[in-house]
């Protein structure tokens, strides 16, 4: 019976050691989880802010495109085709900037959504929703900018058509 008791004590000692290792492993894993959660929360916040800023940039680009389209219209009404061409080109570039900003907002929204998928936290879900709304706004601004760019190109073409059909007064 003494041998069995020694065997039992050895087993209990091994089990106690295993339990201690499990406790340490749990503490380490929990610490790592908390650190990762904090990092994901920060990334979500930054991604959401990036999406908001990209949406604002897209809106600014859309406004610039609108102003360029107006300039192209005004320039198309005078005999200086180069001014209309420059305004149309500026509108095109501003529209491209709006599209790029919309793509940035979309990428930031995707990053925020990924962070939410990694950890279900209310603040992250709200940040992802805000990033998604920013993407919607940026996409709308890009579409508006594209429409204004196309309008500027139409004004430029109208000015070119008038130049072809209206001879110079010096001729």
How many independent structural domains does the chain possess? 1
Q: Is residue 83 part of a domain?
A: yes
Q: Is residue 34 part of a domain?
A: no
As to burial, measured by CB atoms within 10 angstroms (0-12 exposed, 13-18 middle, 19+ buried), residue 116 is buried
Q: Is residue 59 part of a domain?
A: yes
Q: What is the pLDDT along the chain (171 residues), one digit of tens a residue?
A: 566 888 888 888 998 998 888 999 889 888 888 887 777 777 777 777 777 777 777 777 777 777 777 777 777 777 677 777 777 777 777 777 777 777 777 777 777 776 666 665 666 667 777 777 777 777 777 777 777 778 777 877 887 777 655 555 444
Q: What is the pLDDT of residue 2?
A: 61
Q: Is residue 112 part of a domain?
A: yes
Domain that includes residue 111, residue range = 44-165
Count of beta carbons in the 10 Å neighbourhood of residue 78: 10
Q: Is residue 15 part of a domain?
A: no
Q: What is the pLDDT of residue 171?
A: 43
Residue 6 to residue 10: CA distance in whole angstroms: 6
Q: What is the pLDDT of residue 120?
A: 59
Q: What is the pLDDT of residue 70?
A: 79
Q: What is the pLDDT of residue 164?
A: 58
Helices (H), the chain: 2-76, 81-118, 122-165
Q: 71: closest CA among 97, 92, 48?
A: 92
Q: Is residue 63 part of a domain?
A: yes
Q: Is residue 9 part of a domain?
A: no
Q: What is the pLDDT of residue 94?
A: 78
Q: Is residue 16 part of a domain?
A: no
The conformation of residue 166, written as its DSSP 8-state character, comes to S
Residue 129: both structure tokens together: 């929703």
Give the predicted TM-score (pTM) of the model: 0.54
What angle is formed at CA 133 by the lines to CA 93 and CA 39, rounded to 5 degrees?
100
């Amino acid at each position: 019976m003494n041998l069995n008791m020694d065997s039992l004590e050895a087993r209990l000692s091994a089990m106690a050691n295993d339990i201690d290792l499990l406790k340490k492993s749990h503490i380490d894993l929990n610490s790592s989880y908390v650190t990762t959660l904090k990092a994901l929360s920060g990334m979500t916040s930054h991604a959401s802010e990036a999406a908001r800023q990209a949406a604002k940039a897209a809106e600014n680009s859309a406004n610039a495109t609108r102003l360029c389209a107006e300039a192209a219209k005004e320039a198309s009404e005078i005999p200086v085709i180069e001014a209309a061409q420059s305004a149309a080109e500026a509108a095109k570039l501003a529209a491209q900037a709006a599209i790029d900003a919309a793509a940035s907002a979309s990428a930031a929204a995707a990053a925020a959504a990924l962070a939410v998928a990694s950890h279900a936290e209310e603040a992250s879900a709200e940040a992802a929703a805000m990033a998604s709304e920013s993407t919607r706004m940026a996409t709308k601004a890009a579409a508006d900018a594209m429409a204004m760019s196309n309008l500027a190109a139409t004004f430029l073409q109208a000015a070119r058509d008038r130049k072809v059909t209206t001879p110079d007064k010096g001729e």
